[in-house]
Amino acid sequence: MKKKTTPKPASIAPASVLISNAKPARRQNVESQSEGPKKLPWGEGERLQKVLAKAGVGSRRVAEDMIAAGRIEVDGEIVREQGLRIDPQNAVVRVDGVRIVVRDEQVYLALNKPKGWQSTMSDEMGRPCVGDIVAERVAAGQRLFHVGRLDADTEGLLLLTNDGDLAHRLMHPSFEVPKTYLATVNGEIKDRNVGKRLKDGVQLEDGPASVDRFQVLEVGEGKSLVKVVLHEGRKHIVRRLLAAVGFPVTALVRTHLGPVALGDQRPGTLRALGRDEIGKLYEAVSL
C-alpha cells in the first residue's frame, strides 16, 4: 500500500487558474479551536468545496485549488483534504484568514437611511420607518433587525441582519467598533483646541464622552464640515459632543460602521454586504 505524500509547493495549481493573489491564511486560531475540523460520516454535512462555492468564494474547481494551496481554514486548522465534509451550521471557515458566512439563512444588508425616517421596524404614529423599506423581505419570512439606531434627522449607514450574535457584539461598547460621521456645524472651526477637547473628553449630562478622531474638512460661510470617529453609541452622542464645544450640528451623515462603508449608495436603497465585509465584521468583534 503506497504511503500518501504531501504535495510539494511547486505542484500547486498553475498561475493560469482564476484565483486571487491573496496570501495564504494568516492565522490558525488554535487557541480557541484546538481540536481542528470535525470529520463527519459519509452522507452527513456538505463537502467543503461546495460550501465555499455557495458562499461566493468561487466555483468548486477554484475552491479545490484554494484548498490545495492551503488557503482555507476550518475550525482553526488549515485544510488540504479534498472532499472534507463539514457542518455549515457550526463550522468556522476562513479564506486567507477572513471568516466567511456559510449559512444560507443569514442575511447582511447595508441601508442608507434617509433623513426623516425612523430607525424602527414599525411606527405607531405612521411615520416612515426602516421596516417600510424591508417590508417585502419581512413578508417573505426574513426576520431582520437593525444594528443600533440613527435618529430621525440623521441619515446614512444602518446595518440590517438576522445574525443575532454579530449584531449584539457590534452594538456592545466593549468591542469598540468605530463609527464615522460627517457633520455640518454652525460656526467656522479654526481653533485646533476644539479637536483636542473632543479627544480628551467632554462632560455631558450622562457622563464624560470623547471621540477617537476629529478632522475639519471644510470651513466657510459661517459653517464647517467635520469628520468624527468614535465608538460610543449613546443617544445623539455626536450632536451633543459638538454642541458642548460650541458648534451645533445642522446636518449629520454616518458614512462607516467598522469596515463597512456607505460609499455612493443612494438614500433609501439596500445592498447585500460582500463576503469580505462580513468577514471583517466578524473579525472586528472576535467571532
**Residues with a known catalytic role:** 151
Half-sphere CA count of 279, side-chain side, radius 13 A: 16
Is residue 179 within 8 A of residue 281, CB to CB? The reply is no
- Cα 243 to Cα 180: distance, rounded to the nearest angstrom: 18
- The CA distance from 65 to 49, in Å, is 9
The torsion region of residue 145 among left (phi > 0), alpha (psi -120 to 50) and beta comes to beta
CA-closest candidate to residue 149, choices 177, 120, 124, 121: 120
Please tell me the distance from the alpha carbon of residue 85 to that of residue 74, in angstroms, as a whole number. 11
Per the rule left: phi > 0, alpha: psi between -120 and 50, beta: everything else, 150 is beta
Residue type, 45: G
User: What CA–CA distance (Å, rounded) separates 17 from 8?
Assistant: 18
Spacing of C-alpha 102 from chain mean position: 16
What whole-number distance in Å separates Cα of residue 261 and Cα of residue 180? 9
Q: Are β-strands 207-209 and 202-204 bridged in parallel, bridged antiparallel, or unpaired?
A: antiparallel
